[in-house]
Every structure is written in C-alpha cells, then in structure tokens.
Structure 1
Amino acid sequence: MLIITLYMLAGFLSVLIGGWLFTNSMEYISHRYRIGSSFVGAVLSPILTSLPELIVFLIALLFYGGVSGEDVAVGTIIGEPFVVSTIIYPIIFIVAAIGFYLRRRSDTALEVDKALIIPFIVVLLLFPTVLLPALIRSLVIRYLVAVFLVTAYLLYVHVMRSRQGLVIEDYEGLYMLRVIRGYRIEFMPFILQLVISVVLLFVGSKALVEGVIDLSKYLMLDVMGLSIIIVPTATVLPESITAVIWTWRERDTMAVAALIGEKVLYSTVYPALALVATRWLLSVEALVSVAVVEVISSAMLYHVIKGRLTWDVALIGLIGYLTYVLILLHVI
C-alpha cells in the first residue's frame, strides 16, 4: 500500500510540474501572438492544460487495454468535469477570500463576463449525451454522437473566437529563459520547455494509471469509480493553478473561463474520442458523476447570467463530491 501511494505521489508531482510548464508555455503563445483573454481562457488554455488527461487516456488504452485500462480511460474523461465542478471551485473561493482579507481583492465573490453563458450552456446541454451510447447499445449511435460532439465543439470555438476580449499584457516571461540565458530568439527555449513538459506529463500519467489500477485491486473498489476522483484530481492541476493565479489577481472572468472551457472540451471532443476507441460501458458511479455535473452547472449558469458567482456554488460542489464518495464506498 505504501509503495503504491508513493508511486502515485511521484506521478502526481510529475504531472503538476509538467502542467505548470505547459501553462506558462500557453501564456507565452497567447502573449506572443496577441490572442484575447476570453479566447485564451475558454479555448486555448483548456486545449493545452487538458493534455495530461489526454495522455492518461491514451496510456490507459495503449499500454494496458482490457477492461481495467478502458475503465481508467473512460473514468478519466468523465471524471474531469466532475472534479472541476465539485472541489476546484471551493478552492477558488478560498483563494478569493484570502485575497480579500489581504486586500488583494475587492470582493469574495467572482465577477464574471456574461459571455461565459455560452460555454456553460454547451456543458449543460451536451455533457449528458455521453450517456446515450451506454444506454443504447448501437455502434452507429456511438459514432453519430461522436461526430455531433466534435462538430459542436468546432462551432463553439468559432463563436468564442469572435469574443476573444483583451490581450494579456503583464506576462511574466518564459520560465526556460530564466535557466538558459543568451538567447535573443525565444523559439528554442520554448521548444525545450515544451519537450520537458511532455516527458513529465508522460511519466507522471503512466504512474497514475498504474497506481489507480493497483490501488483499486488492493482496496477492492471499482476501477472506473476510483479513477473518476483520483486521476482527474492530479491532471486537473494545470488549469486549477491557472485559475487560482487569475483569481488572486482578480481576473475572475479568466479564472472561471479556464475551468468552464475545460469542461466544454470534456463534454465534446474527448468523449467523442472515447466513444470511438472504447466499449464505453459506464458504472453507477459514472452515472452519478454526470448527474452531479449537471446540477452544479445549472446552478452556476444561473449565477453567470447575473454576472456574479457566490459561495453557494462551492457548497453545492462539496455536497456533490461527498455524495459521490459515499456511493463509491457503498455507504449509501
């Protein structure tokens, strides 16, 4: 048990550092090419920070396969929106409260642009479609749903591109330039940082997949159910760190956009990939997690329409997370 825990911790830290470097690389690209903040937060940032989950998905299928590998893969994709909806927002509000207490922020609530109504509606309407292939056992329907989800995401990107907002001006610089000095052209340090990030993400993700499978066998718990809360908790760190930083700086729209943009990606493109590549059999825990995401997304959409997210969103998320854990442990 101790060895499994240490192994998963090493994978967790590897993914954390890799995601941290990825986030900085994303900021470099957005600053360098003058891409607006709304588009960066809701589209570009999720594409880059979701790579850890994608790597976990691919490793679970390619290196392990079988029932356990597919359960980890599917659980990771379904679990990411669940983890973001339940435990990440409470952390964001804690950061906001600390910032307010230290007079770094003017309010403990999150003031957001109503343009974020679009991604919230996308999640609310499309995320439940991942249940259809599990309920209707038809290969044709699975492929049709996959095509529909990818098409919907492309349309979403087009709409958000027209509302990209202001460019981030106070970029802190490429981290690798602090280690490698003397380069007048930033392209080579950027490539090096990107390569290091990929290696860390690969190694860490492989350790997490192995750990989840071994831990589930040791505790005699459902592999998919366990992967829904463990793997995404690690791989969601890149976008969570970005959201925390933006919350601390009182860029609330950017912070929320980074999180909801991630949920859009995992309500469309990645489920589409899983529909094609796996059997897509869902456990009871997976069904519960989808229901929790829908309830919390509905509550958040209501607040986004008002332009202000308050503490009750975090409370609903915590209740949803606790309910899921109790079901996983067969307490209820």
Structure 2
Amino acid sequence: MIVFHLVTSIIVILLGARFFTNGVEWLGVRLGLARGAVGSVLAAIGTALPETMIPVAALLSGRGEAAAEVGIGAILGAPFMLSTAGLALAGCAALLCRRRGEGLAVDCGYVYRDLRFFLLSYVTAILAAFLPGWMRVAVVVMLLATYLVFFVSALTQGVRCGEGENLTPLLVAPRFHRPPVVLIFGQVFLAFGLIMGGARVFVEAVGWIAHDLGVPVFVFSLLLAPLATEMPELSNSVLWIKERKDTLALGNITGAMVFHS
C-alpha cells in the first residue's frame, strides 16, 4: 500500500510539474518579467512555500523538544537537500538528456546572484542561533529585507522573457498563440494543486516508512522530509533540462534555496 501511494504521488507530482513549468513560462512572457525571475522567483516560491510552513507549524505548535527538532531539521534540511541532491539530479538529467560532450547552457549571472544571496542568508540564519533573543529579531528583519532586495533584483534585472524562445503552447489552451492571462493563472493554480496534493501524499508515505524503520524525529526532518517536500522543485528542474531551458532549471533550485534560507 505504501508503494502504491509513493508511485501515485510521484506520477501526480510529475504531471503537475509539467503544467506548472509551462504555465510559469507563459506568465513570465505575458507579464514581461526578466527571464531569471521565472525560475528563481515564480517557480521557486510556488513550489517552496508549502514546505516552508513545516518548520513554522512545528515551532508554533508548542509540543516541546520533538517540535523543535522537526522545525530545526526542516530549516537546515531543505537548502541542504537542494544544494546536494537537487543539483546532482540536475547534472544527472543533463547527462542523460544531452549528447556526449554537450554541457549546460546556463546564464551564470543569475546563478551567481542566487548563490550569493543564499550564502549570505543561510550563514546569517545559522549564526543567529548563537545570538541572544533580542538580537534575533534584528536578524529576522535583515533576512526579510535581504529577500526583498533579491525579489526586486530578480524581477527587474536581465533579459526579458520573449515568445519566440522555444515556448510550448499553453497546455490548457494549445490553440491560443497568445493565451489570456486568466487562462495562464488557471493552469498555474491547477498545477499547483496537483503538485501539493501529490507532495502531501509523498510526505505521508515517507513518514510511514520512517516510522516503520524507527528513524529518529530529527533525522527524519533533516533528511527524509526534505527529500519528499523538494520533489516539486526537482521535477520542475528535470523537465526544464529536458527542454534545454537550463537557466530556468537551475534557477528553480537556487531560487528555492534563497527562499528557504
């Protein structure tokens, strides 16, 4: 039964990811956003926001040490999983989908920008654990301000999205050469629902496996839970690499890392 839940959830996540990547690409074109914003902001926030609520809910639940372990493990685990397994999976996808000797065509400026913001925020968040309580409030304000700067930078800087760059027709309305924004938003929200529904089932199935194996709470929240909750980001990136949209693929991972940190 657990295997059935795992397989079904992965299929639903992949289906949702297909609609989501197509939708956010069109959203970037119709809204005239910078190309880097599609992966690093739109896709990253859309797929990273739900699992961000795991540590928030755990720390606010007031359930003592176990809740603290879940919260801390989730905060540390999500960026760690993306920066290791996420980037490794992107590399493996490139090896499988490309001819020998053909590398990734990535706009390094976007990736460097994301990683700079990530390292600054992540290191600051870790150092905050050693500060007194009143100073942590200042750190929270600084982290929010840092993400705001990143958000504005990603939306405004760089080349704008264009309709002529290998853009697949909108999946819910393939006959439209220039689909209405309302249809694009509809597809994005539909895909978001599929991804989140599939991810929830996947997380529950992984939780059952961890319980059966007697895995400690902190280990589960640090390693297994992020593996499950980061499935949407990983799925999006693999699909974009398959379509040779490497900047979007890596931007989805690095943008989610910034959002989590």
Structure 1's 197 and 100: CA in aligned 2 closer, same or farther, altered over 3 A? closer
Cα distance in 1 between the residues matched to 2:50 and 2:8: 15
Equivalence for 1:303: none
1:117 aligns with 2:115: no
Equivalence for 2:123: 128
1:1-332 paired onto structure 2 within 5 Å:
3-54=1-52, 56=54, 66=63, 68=66, 71-101=69-99, 107-108=102-103, 111-136=106-131, 138-169=132-163, 170-177=166-173, 186-187=180-181, 189-267=183-261
TM-score where L is the length of structure 2: 0.77
* Cα displacement string for residues 113-148 of structure 1 (whole angstroms, at most 9, x for unaligned residues): 335322222222221222234334x43233222211
* Cα displacement string for residues 131-186 of structure 1 (whole angstroms, at most 9, x for unaligned residues): 234334x43233222211111111122333442324142321322225xx89x974
The gaps in structure 2 that reach 5 residues or longer are none
SS in 2 for 1:101: coil
Cα distance in 2 between the residues matched to 1:185 and 1:112: 27
* Cα displacement string for residues 2-61 of structure 1 (whole angstroms, at most 9, x for unaligned residues): x44544554444444434433332122112112121222322321223234236556767
SS in 1 for 2:138: helix
Equivalence for 1:311: none
Aligned residues: 257
* Cα displacement string for residues 56-108 of structure 1 (whole angstroms, at most 9, x for unaligned residues): 5567678x873555544543342222122112222222333334427xxx623
Identity across aligned pairs (percent)? 26
| Paired residues of 1:23 and 1:49 also in contact (CA < 8 A) | no
Cα distance in 1 between the residues matched to 2:185 and 2:247: 29
The structural deviation recorded for 1:213 is: 4.3
| Paired residues of 1:42 and 1:257 also in contact (CA < 8 A) | yes
Q: Which fold has the larger relative contact order, with Cα–Cα distance below 8 Å and residues 6 or more apart in sequence? A: 2
TM-score where L is the length of structure 1: 0.63
Cα distance in 1 between the residues matched to 2:9 and 2:66: 19
